[in-house]
Amino acid sequence: MLKNLQLLICTVGLFVAAVQREQNDGTKPSSTQALADSVDAETGLALDPHFTIVKAQCTGCHSPKLILQHRFTRDEWLSKIRWMQRNHKLWDLGETEKTVLDYLAKHYAPNQAAYSRREALRNVKWYKLEK
């Protein structure tokens, strides 16, 4: 029953996001495109079938910005959850823990773009500045 309710909540959330997107720019994206390109306007979190579960479990205690500013592996996210459970009385996530970890690992994992520097300069002609 919990899974059916979660699925219903996710479906409604995705429908609302697609309708809002259509109203904003006049185009009707495919449901896949709307999912891939969208973030929740309120939280800034990536829209995904599991978004509502993550929002309910994570933003009850802290700002979604705490998620957005970090990039962790699945194991590191699990470590953060355990730390919050030990130190901040986070409840047992139960059956939703796997869903939350899947979402975080998918959308907020380390990636090269988040940590990379620009490519080194090449063929630069240096000159001295005159006083």
* DSSP assignments along 45-94, one per residue: PBP-TTHHHHHHHHTTTS-THHHHT----HHHHHHHHHHHHHHS-PPP-T
Lowest-confidence region among 10-14, 67-71, 119-123:
10-14
Neighbouring C-beta atoms of residue 129, cutoff 10 Å: 4
d(CA 9, CA 57) in angstroms, rounded, equals 14
Stronger pLDDT, 114 or 52, i.e. the higher one: 52
Q: Domains of the chain, with CATH numbers?
A: 45-108 (1.10.760.10)
Does residue 46 contact residue 54 with C-beta atoms inside 8 Å?
no
- The whole-number pLDDT of residue 8 equals 44
Cβ burial of 93 (10 Å; 0-12, 13-18, 19+) is: middle
pLDDT in tens, 6-22: 444 544 454 444 444 44
Does residue 86 contact residue 34 with C-beta atoms inside 8 Å?
no
In order of 24, 60, 110, 126, the CA distances from 107 in angstroms are 24, 19, 9, 42
Q: How many helices (H) and strands (E) does the chain have?
A: 7, 0
Model confidence pTM above 0.85: no
